[in-house]
């Protein structure tokens, strides 16, 4: 998850919404990594998800399902908002979990 978060942050660094959405490769790479994050979340044991409720586990898994099955129902603005407001906090939370659980 951390690697995918890093990639998404790198793909969106230094550009605005319009430039990002106009770059098919960046968008496709970002969507793929959002899917990877969603798949990874589904592999996190329930006990760990319960222990760390600050991570929006269900929403992340739900996003993966939307990306895999109903991509065209997802607005570009929503994707950009996720990139801008959710990825960095998710990365930080996952890094904290890793440091606490896998010392």
Positions marked active-site: 64, 69
φ and ψ of 70, to 5 deg? -140, 45
Residue closest to 20 by CA, chosen among 74, 71, 84, 64: 84
Residue closest to 33 by CA, chosen among 57, 3, 4, 71: 4
Helix ranges (DSSP H) in 13-86: 17-21, 24-42, 46-51, 57-69, 76-85
Residue closest to 23 by CA, chosen among 80, 102, 87: 80
């Amino acid at each position: 998850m951390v690697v995918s978060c890093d990639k998404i942050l790198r793909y969106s660094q230094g550009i605005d919404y319009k430039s990002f959405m106009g770059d098919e490769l960046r968008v496709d790479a970002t969507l793929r990594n959002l899917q990877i994050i969603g798949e990874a979340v589904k592999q996190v044991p329930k006990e760990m998800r319960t222990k760390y409720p600050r991570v929006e586990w269900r929403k992340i898994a739900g996003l993966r399902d939307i990306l895999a099955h109903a991509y065209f129902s997802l607005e570009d603005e929503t994707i950009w908002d996720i990139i801008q407001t959710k990825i960095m906090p998710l990365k930080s939370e996952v890094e904290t979990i890793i440091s606490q659980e896998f010392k």
